[in-house]
């Protein structure tokens, strides 16, 4: 049994699909307070900040798992969670007919050890259809998603090439985690 210190339904589904017993617990951490010059530095600091908050709140009596994910555009800029439909459109247009990197940092800690992983999955997208993009924006499914992107949803038909693991792109590099969890893998 572990505590997934994330409110992400996608991360919960990943753990469920791999048969990992968990309880979903959330922690408060202000990602806007992070100062970082690269996407990797940002996700590392965000995941570490969440882990520190989780340890303070829950201790390590039960193993803790925290993660954070960002999307980097082809020029290395972080594409954060959009705060409005207009911002989501702008972010998605940067990904249309381009290559992005989805970077996930994961911290797993228990009383006797800690694991830190930063993984990336790279996607090359075709040009997004304008009507399809507008329907996606109107659906509000982009809300709360790094880069307003859902590689398992809206962006899926536009994928031309993938380098990396889908689980990383969905927010949790579970294949890296499995060997470290007692009784799994």
So which residues are the catalytic ones?
68
Whole-number Å distance between alpha carbons of 135 and 56: 42
**Neighbour-count burial of 76, counting CB atoms closer than 10 A to its CB (0-12 exposed, 13-18 middle, 19+ buried):** exposed
Q: What share of the chain is helix, strand, coil (3-state, %, to 5)?
A: 35, 30, 35
Specify which residues 41 forms β-bridges with: none
Tokens of 106: 């994961």
Closest CA to 79 of 135, 19, 114, 125: 125
* Alpha carbon distances (Å) from 37 to 42, 74, 85, 104, 146: 7, 15, 26, 16, 17
- SS3 track for 143-175: CCCECCCCCCCCCHHHEEEEECCHHHHCCCCHH
Q: Which residue has tokens 């048969």?
A: 19
């Amino acid at each position: 049994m572990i505590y997934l210190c994330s409110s992400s339904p996608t991360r919960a589904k990943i753990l469920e699909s791999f048969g990992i017993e968990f309880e979903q617990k959330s922690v408060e951490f202000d990602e806007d307070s992070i100062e970082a010059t690269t996407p990797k530095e940002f996700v590392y600091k965000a995941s570490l900040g969440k882990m520190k908050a989780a340890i303070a709140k829950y201790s390590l009596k039960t193993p803790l798992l925290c993660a954070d994910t960002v999307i980097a555009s082809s020029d290395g800029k972080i594409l954060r969670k959009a705060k409005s439909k207009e911002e989501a459109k702008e972010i998605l247009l940067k990904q249309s007919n381009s290559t992005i990197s989805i970077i996930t940092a994961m911290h797993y800690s228990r009383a006797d050890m800690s694991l830190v992983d930063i993984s990336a999955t790279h996607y090359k997208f075709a040009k997004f259809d304008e009507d399809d993009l507008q329907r996606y924006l109107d659906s509000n499914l982009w809300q709360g998603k790094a880069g307003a992107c859902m590689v398992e949803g809206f962006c899926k038909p536009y994928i031309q090439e993938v380098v990396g693991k889908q689980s990383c792109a969905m927010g949790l590099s579970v294949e890296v985690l499995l060997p470290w969890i007692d009784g799994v893998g």
